[in-house]
Amino acid sequence: MEILRNVVVLVHLVGFAILFGAWVVEAAARRIRVTRLMNVALAISLLTGLILSAPWGLDHDLNYAKIGIKLVVLIVIGALLGIGSARQKRNGSLSPAIFWPIGILTLLNAALAVIWR
Ligand code: HEM
């Protein structure tokens, strides 16, 4: 059970790595845009996060306040990705006010996960 849980944590980390990595690639190339890969990675993070939110294969209690905040942050990221891709399609460009919070909130969720035990 514990090994299976660790495998789900690994896939959850892959979701984080792809989401943050896809965002950094665009930021480093000074392309203010959202990509399909970001949506896919967010879906991976959500699905695996929900699986990990059930108390199985654990010897400690889960921090549900932290999990709730992470879920809210993920929903905000999802909304920004949705609004971002719609505006991008309509205008051909995206406001930095939508692009930057996507990366910052992703990093915030990872920071919450590792710093707040
Ligand atoms: C962008 C979104 C997210 C990011 C970047 C993220 C990041 C992380 C990271 C880096 C870890 C590993 C922490 C560690 O083992 O030290 C983790 C674990 C975890 N995450 Fe997420 N996460 C996200 C979304 C979510 C969501 C939406 C949920 C639940 C609704 C969730 C629930 C969990 C749980 C339950 C764990 C395991 C904690 C434990 O076993 O103590 N995550 N997350």
Give the closest residue (by CA) to ligand 1 atom 14.
114
At residue 66, the 3 state secondary structure works out as helix
What is the full per-residue pLDDT of the chain (117 aa) written as tens digits?
899 999 999 999 999 999 999 999 999 999 999 999 999 999 999 999 999 999 999 999 999 999 999 999 999 999 999 999 999 999 998 999 999 999 999 999 999 999 998
- Residue 42 CB neighbour total at 10 angstroms: 22
- Determine the structural domain holding residue 74 and report its residue range: 2-115
Q: How many separate domains does the chain show?
A: 1
Contact 24, 38 (CB under 8 A): no
CA of 15 to the centre of ligand 1 (A): 10
pTM, rounded to two decimals: 0.95
Atom nearest to 58 CA in ligand 1: 40
